[in-house]
Amino acid sequence: MSRTYLGEFEELVLLTVAILNSTAYGLAIAEELKQRTDRSINLSGVHVALYRLEEKGFVKSELGGATTARGGRRKRLFAITAYGKRTLDELRQVRNDLWQSIPNLSFS
Amino acid sequence: MAQPPHTPLPPAWADRLLRVVCPPVLQEELLGDLHEQFDQQVAQVGESTARRLYVWEVIRFCRPYLISRQVQAQMAEVNTDLSFSFLHPNMLRNYLQIAWRNLLQDRLFALLNLIGLSMGLGCIILIYLWVTNELSIDKFHANDPRLYQIMRNVTEGPNEINTYGNNSDLLTPALKAEMPEIDHIVATSDEVWDGIASVGAKHVKAVGKSASTDFFNVFSYKLLQGAADQVLRSIDGVVISDELAVNLFGTTTQAINQIIHWEEKPYSGNYRVTGVFKKPQPNSSETFDLLLTDQLYLARNTMDQSWDSNRILVYVTLKEEVDVAKVNAKIKEFVRDKFKAAYGPKNLPWIGTLFLQRYSDKYLHNVYINGVPTGGRIEYVQLFSVIAVFILVIACINFMNLSTAKAEKRMKEVGIKKVMGATRLTLIGQYLGESTLMSFLALIISLIGVAVALPVFNTIIGKQLTLQLDGRLITALLVITLVTGILAGSYPAFYLSGFKPVAVLKGKLQTSFSQLWIRKGLVVFQFALSVLFIVVVLVIYKQMAFIQTKNLGYTKDNLIRFTNEGRLQDHQQAFLAEVKTIPGVLKASSMSGNLIGSHSGGGGIDWEGKTERVEFSGLYVDYDFIEALNLKIAKGRPFSKQFGSDSSNVIFNEAAIAAMGLKNPLGKTVTMWGKKKQIVGIVKDFHFESLYNRVGPFFLSYEPYTDNILVKIKAGKEPEVLSRVEQLYKRYNLDLPFNYQFLDQDYQVLYASEHRVAVLSRYFAGLAILISCLGLFGLTAFTAQRRQREIGIRKVVGATTDTIVVMLSADFLKLILVALLLALPMAGWLTNKWLDHFAYRIHVDAAVYLITVVLVITIAWLIVGYQAIKAALANPVKSLRSE
């Protein structure tokens, strides 16, 4: 498999970046994930996942959007790249194929 | 004044922590997110919980991913600061890489260097261990800086001042009373006694001496039981070592107040244990198992107490802040003043002056010339330190020579580096780094070597050294290794870094005359040292052989000696008579002290027409002594039963008769310590001392009861006779071990340190030569390799193998000849100086030099010739076809 490996948590973060699109930054992603997955999410994990994703080329980032709420500090805003989008598509395709291959077994 | 609205803030230290662990580029956004989250949480769960959650969140940021990026960022920052420095991390890595590649590329040279340096370092480490041990001897006493022995200088002839350690037993109380500068003073017996300590049927051989009450205040031998001030107070008391206590009682704690019996005349008797001390450690120059009191010693010793009876050793500790020079001045005439006041000015010239010598200095500085400590063991310490340094230098020279010879191969590297902007300093740093790397590799190998060689080294030097890597040793090792690396790398570093980049990149290496000269000079120096070592070893060997085979004037072979102890002392004559009946026993006799080692003596002999005092040595002996030792009678007769009692007769040696200036000495009467004795015989001179000393005046006096039995055994019969003598001995002393000594063993002891030097110098000389040869091997191999093409062309145009071999070897052999020329006179001078210590010595003849020359040239030629022949025999096609 030529594609870079994508961990489960990384995949979740990448999906969230795609959802939030241009307003995605560390805290926002963490909140979104907390709401949607009901898991305990910590900020450092999200950040590290984001940096990894960026190193692998799935997301790109820029600094921007300073607000007084953060003591005047800027946010790093993340956006999914075309390569990231394609990778998500491929992953989904693989999953769909796999789902469809499951025979109709009855467990009850 | 209105309060400003309270804005809750997260803990500042958590923010600082985050700044430490996270790379700077990420800090802004991370802190921003964290603070935003904090504000939300303050609103949701309150400030204190939010603060706790905040800290927890920050701690979670301390993860390897972020920290490793932070380290990289820091490194990058350092890099930009040092971008032009030769200490730039990338450059350092480059140096190591190139050094490593160089090692691998020239495995042979690397190996030669490594072996040479390891051997050099190994020598240094061994010698370092030995020297630090020697220097530490007797330094453990707590009062060491203030601890002195009182020594005595006596003028015994024109320009002859002799130094003694023993002093009058009246000295101790007098000094204590009159010298406020003295803190504690102690007197000990001037010899140690080999006796037997017993409890019930348990007998243990032990070494004893006497000491006055302050012994444990002056010396820091540890008292395990008893108080320092009390243990040597009562005349029936004895202080024993923990070892002896365990041997006798099986315990050190229950020994107090037990009674032990001590057997050694005239101090035999029952004594009560008053204390137990820890037996002196190997770093003490003295060892003893038992201490009797000074009172007992003086009471039992038959000598009169006077200012002229020297039988104690006196040690003092001075008070703090006391000027030693002043004390020295005060005590100088102390005994002479007392003597004059007590007995008048007669004999005053024979009374010595006193001086103080640091107790811990005595071990290494124990030889006195004209009353001043001038040397002793320290000379050997210095000698071997110098030898070790020389060996290391030889190894370093190998490194220098091989690296500079190899420089041609590296000139392009140097050229490129210089073009790329390397400064000379950079290159020097690099090459020094390479040599240091090499010396550290060598250190590891040499440590393994030292660990392996240490037991052998210990048996040679007679010590128990261990390789314990404590802080001091590690520091010393690091310093030695660094210095070695820098020394070995210094010349190549300056040489290589001096290349002109344009010239070397064009492919021209200007080997100037001076550079060649240095390389040749180093080879000469190396071999000159090796030659020096060889001559020294040969001379020492010959002198030792001379000592072994010299006609001593007596026969020391097949003679055993054992102490007359226990019940034997009361039945000596009966025992001797029985010994004589054993088949295989040729003679049996007895003597006081030992012919080799300890004699009686002194100046108390008066004769007719005496003009000046003569110091005599002598022995009190039984009948058959002269026959047992095969001493030659020059005139008169030996002691013999045929002439009735010989107890008022004396025999002198020729030196004594000459010193007394007696004409027709036979039948004349002399007065020995107040007793009239008639001269009945004269023996030819024999060497009763080591060959360091001339044969002096000697007397033999008849005395049937003395402390050493002497038995001459027929050659080849030793085992039978020894077992019969032992049986006989056991009849008298059932429970004492029968310990005998061959007289030639005693003789070897006289030369123990020479023997050590002989063996050690042989090893070191071997190493020096080996390392030099490694260097020569490398250098010739390199030259042959470099001139491969030249040799090929020469052969093609008709040169014979012979001419090529001669051409290749002549250069090096010339160097060896120069080394020989330089070293031989030097070696001659040095060995003569050493031999001058001996009164009886060999004269270094041409043979020694001839052997050295032949040996060195043969070795050198074998090495050079091997390479030369190999190069000359090579097929020229191989070396020429590649171009």
From the CB of residue B104, how many other CB atoms can be counted at a distance below 10 Å?
9
Q: Which residue has the higher pLDDT, B723 or B92?
A: B723
Question: Which chain B residue is nearest to residue A72, measuring alpha carbons?
Answer: B32
Q: Residue for token digits 């040599």?
A: B435
Residue B336 has a pLDDT of 87
Q: Confidence band (pLDDT; 50, 70, 90) for B472?
A: confident
Q: Judge whether residue B186 has pLDDT over 90.
A: yes
Please say whether the beta carbons of B445 and B534 come within 8 A: no
Pairing mode, if any, of strands B182-189 and B310-318?
antiparallel
Q: Which of B225, B236, B324 is nearest to B277 (CA)?
A: B225
Helical ranges in B462-562 per DSSP H: 471-497, 501-505, 513-549
CA-atom Rg of chain B in angstroms: 39
Show the low-confidence residues of chain A (pLDDT under 50): 1-2
Residue from the list A30, A71, A76 with its beta carbon closest to the beta carbon of B35: A71
Q: Determine which of B25, B26, B33 to mutate to test the interface with A (most A C-beta atoms within 10 Å).
A: B33
Which tokens go with B645?
A: 């009692």
Minimal-distance CA residue of chain A relative to B58: A44
Sequence-ordered list of residues with C-beta below 8 angstroms from that of B165, at least 6 positions apart, any chain: B149, B151, B152, B190, B313
pLDDT score, position B446: 93
As a whole number of Å, the CA-based R_g of chain A is: 16
Q: Is A23 on the interface with B (CB under 8 A)?
A: no
pLDDT digits (tens, 9 = 90+) for B544-599: 888 878 888 888 888 888 888 777 878 888 888 888 888 888 888 888 877 776 67
Q: Write the pLDDT tens digit of every residue in B612-625.
A: 777 788 888 888 88
For chain A, first and last CA: distance in Å?
Answer: 36
Nearest to A48 among B31, B32, B66 (CB): B66
- Bridge-based pairing state of the strands B675-683 and B269-277: unpaired
Give the list of residues 6+ apart from residue B673 with CB closer than 8 angstroms, or none: B602, B604, B605
In one letter, which amino acid is B744? D
User: Does B664 or B219 have the greater pLDDT score?
Assistant: B219
Per-residue pLDDT band at B4 (split at 50, 70, 90): low
What token pair was written down for B862? 């074998």
Does the pLDDT value for residue B85 go beyond 60? no
Q: Percentage of residues in chain B with pLDDT exceeding 90?
A: 9
Give the separation between CA B501 and CA B422, rounded to whole angstroms. 11
pLDDT tens-digit profile of B443-466? 999 999 999 999 988 888 888 888
pLDDT per residue over B766-807, tens digit each?
Answer: 888 888 888 888 888 877 877 888 888 888 888 888 888 888
Length in residues, chain A: 108
Q: Quote the minimal CA–CA distance from A2 to chain B in Å.
A: 24
**Chain A: residue whose CA lies nearest to B59:** A44
pLDDT number for residue B793: 87
**Looking at the predicted complex, does its ipTM rise above 0.90?**
no
Q: What residues of chain A, 32 to 51, have a C-beta less than 8 Å from chain B?
A: 42-45, 47-48, 51
Q: For the range A17-22, what are the long-range contacts, defined as Cβ-Cβ under 8 Å and sequence gap of 24 or more?
A: A17/A50, A17/A53, A17/A59, A17/A78, A17/A79, A17/A80, A17/A84, A18/A80, A18/A84, A18/A85, A18/A88, A21/A79, A21/A80, A22/A77, A22/A79
Torsion sign across C-alpha atoms B822, B825, B830, B831: positive
Contact B301/B219 with Cβ under 8 angstroms? no
Q: Which residue type, as a one-letter code, is found at position B481? A: T
Tell me how close the Cα of A53 comes to any Cα of chain B, in angstroms.
13
Q: Cα separation of B521 and B818, whole Å? A: 10
pLDDT in tens, B21-80: 888 888 888 888 888 888 888 888 888 888 998 998 888 888 888 888 888 887 777 666
- Per-residue tokens: B611: 């003009």
Q: What's the per-residue H, E or C state across B468-494?
A: CCCHHHHHHHHHHHHHHHHHHHHHHHH
Question: What residues of A are in contact with residue B66 (Cβ under 8 Å)?
Answer: 44, 48
Round to whole Å and give the CA distance between B175 and B19.
75
Q: Which residue has the tokens 């469809």?
A: A100
Place of tokens 């790329």: B420
A27 touches chain B (CB under 8 A): yes
pLDDT at B512: 62
- Predicted pLDDT of residue A17: 92
Q: Report d(CA A43, CA B59) in Å as an integer.
A: 11
What pLDDT, on the 0 to 100 scale, is given for residue B63?
84
Q: Give the model's pLDDT for residue B444.
A: 92
Q: Which of B758, B765, B131, B763 is nearest to B463 (CA)?
A: B131
Q: Which of B343-352, B525-534, B749-758 has the highest mean pLDDT?
A: B525-534
Optimal mutation site among A34, A44, A46, A76, interface B, most CBs of chain B within 10 A? A44
Distance CA B477, CA B489 (A): 18
Highest mean pLDDT among B236-240, B387-391, B809-813, B838-842: B236-240
d(CA B381, CA B377): 6
Mind giving me the DSSP string for B1-53? -PPPPP-----HHHHHHHHHHS-HHHHHHHHHHHHHHHHHHHHHH-HHHHHHH
Is B33 close to A26, i.e. CB distance below 8 A?
Answer: yes
* Three-state SS annotation for B241-297: EHHHHHHHHCCCCCCCCCEEEEECCCCCEEEEEEEEECCCCCCCCCCCCEEEEHHHH
Q: Does A71 touch chain B (CB under 8 A)?
A: yes
Distance from CA of B76 to the nearest CA of A (A): 19
Q: A27 and B57: CB-CB below 8 Å?
A: no
- Any chain B CB within 8 A of the CB of A95? no
Cβ neighbours of B5 (radius 10 Å): 5
Q: What tens digit of pLDDT does each residue of B297-328 get?
A: 888 876 667 787 788 899 999 998 888 899 98
Q: What is the dihedral of CA B520, B522, B524, B526, to 10 degrees?
A: -150
Quote the percentage of chain B above a pLDDT of 70. 96
* Cβ <8 Å between A45 and B37: no
pLDDT value of position B449: 92
B589 closest CA partner among B547, B551, B554, B616: B554
Q: Is A26 within 8 Å of B29 when comparing Cβ atoms?
A: yes
Residue B471 clears pLDDT 70, i.e. is over it = yes
Query: Looking at chain B, which residue has its C-alpha nearest residue A62?
Result: B29
Residue whose pair of structure tokens reads 């709401």 in the numeric block: A35
B290-329: b (≥16 Cβ within 10 Å) or e: bbbbbbbbbeebeeeeebbbbbbbbbbbbeeebeeeebee
Q: Global pTM?
A: 0.69
Q: Does B53 touch chain A (CB under 8 A)?
A: no
Q: Rounded to the nearest 10 degrees, what angle do helices B107-136 and B424-461 cross at?
A: 50
Q: What pLDDT, on the 0 to 100 scale, is given for residue B150?
A: 92
How far is the C-alpha of B457 from the C-alpha of B465, rounded, in Å? 9
B29–A51 C-beta distance less than 8 A: no
Q: What sign does the dihedral B850-B853-B857-B859 (CA atoms) show? A: positive
Cβ <8 Å between B61 and A26: no
In this prediction, residue B507 carries a pLDDT of 64
How high is the pLDDT of residue B443?
92
- Whether the predicted pLDDT of B84 surpasses 60: no
CA B795/CA B336 separation, integer angstroms: 88
pLDDT of residue A1: 42
Average pLDDT, chain B: 84
Residue B152 is classified by DSSP as: E
B699 within 8 A of B605, measured Cβ to Cβ: yes
Please compute, for residue B632, the number of CA atoms within 13 A of its CA located in the half-sphere on the CB side. 10
Return the minimum-mean-pLDDT range out of A5-9, B133-137, B325-329, B375-379: B375-379
Tokens of B78: 């350092």
Q: What is the DSSP letter of B319?
A: P
Measured between alpha carbons, how far is B242 from B240 in angstroms, rounded to an integer? Answer: 7
Model pLDDT, residue B860: 85
* Predicted pLDDT at A106: 66
- CB distance B65–A51 less than 8 Å? yes
Instruction: Give the amino acid at B401.
Output: N
Q: What is the pLDDT of residue A65?
A: 66
DSSP tag of B667: T
Q: For residue B657, how many other CB atoms are within 10 A of its CB? A: 20
Instruction: Name the range with the highest mean pLDDT among B22-26, B173-177, B485-489.
Output: B173-177
CB contact under 8 A, A27 and B37: yes
Checking if the pLDDT of B2 tops 50, the result is no
The predicted structure's pLDDT at residue B311: 83
Note the pLDDT of residue B1: 41
- Contact yes or no for B419/B501 (Cβ under 8 A): yes
Place of tokens 């040092």: B82
> How far is the alpha carbon of A22 from chain B, nearest alpha carbon, in Å?
16
State the first-to-last Cα distance of chain B, in angstroms, to the nearest integer: 98
- Give mean pLDDT, residues B256-272: 87
d(C-alpha B35, C-alpha B15), whole Å: 10
